[in-house]
Copies of this chain bind each other. A is one copy, B any other.
Amino acid sequence: MKTGGPARKRMPPADDEDAVKFCSTCAFSSACLSQGFDKSQLSELHVLVMHVGPFAPGEHIFREGDPFNAIAAVRAGTVKTYVVDSHGREQVQGFFLPGEVIGLNAIHAARYPANAIALDTVTLCRFSFPQMSLLATRLPGLQQHLFRLLSHDIGKASLLAGDFTADERMAAFLIALSRRYAARGYSGSHFNLTMARTDIANYLRLASETVSRVLRRFQDEGLLCIERREVQLLDRMRLEQMARVVLRD
């Protein structure tokens, strides 16, 4: 465990006008929009949003055990969540890209059950959860959206669960990442890994040496091209094929 990283810097709180404008690009709201929210409903949502960050790489966003009061949508950057087991080893629980929501698993115990750390420069939209659920009683669409969001994450967790081979896990990881980037309008075939090999290893429950070896072999077999953290998927079909067992689709 490294100590805290660079000191936390926050942007000056934007005034409400700004918040609404600024946030109109934020994924959570846009998801709500696409759920058929009208403008006035959306602005109700916006008054309880707060922009936080930027967080510098290595800076913690919250820590295990912190009291929970807000969920957050990633606006920019990548967030890693992890816990440290009793042997001092890091178990990575997930990576969150722009548009994805952190903290949903904290509602239950009213405490964050894991640490969240910025992998690069991260900015967030923070939603007060008490206010949000209050608002959800008046906006059934919002309630619905929250239920779906939560339900979705239950299934997502079992991606890691099965007993899959290293190849299957790695392929699934890359394909999932690719799809998530593509869904946000980035290239799905050529992107940068924002996380270290060891992070990937801890996430996939492999040794970092295995991650290296598998990536090497994938490259030798012409499935992809990887240099440092820059990946290019060359044979998407075969990767999808390998990932199918894990992703179930």
Contact = CB atoms under 8 A, between A and B. Distances in A.
Contacts of A85: 162, 245, 248
A136 interface: yes
Contacts of A148: 107-108
Given A147-B146, A148-B107, A133 B140 contact: yes
Interface in A72-121: 83, 85-87, 91, 93, 104-108, 113
Nearest to A68: B151
Interface string A122-161: 0000000000011011101001101111111111011011
A163 interface: yes
A80 to B, nearest CB: 15
A107 B162 CA distance: 22
Nearest to A139: B137
B154 A104 contact: yes
Q: How many copies does the complex hold?
A: 2
Nearest to A204: B163
Interface string A218-249: 00000000000000000000000000110010
Contacts of A162: 85, 91, 205
A108 B133 CA distance: 18
B133 A144 contact: yes
A151 B153 CA distance: 9
A151 B91 CA distance: 20
A81 to B, nearest CB: 11
A161 B149 CA distance: 20
A35 to B, nearest CB: 13
7 contacts: A83-B248, A93-B158, A104-B151, A104-B154, A133-B144, A150-B151, A154-B157
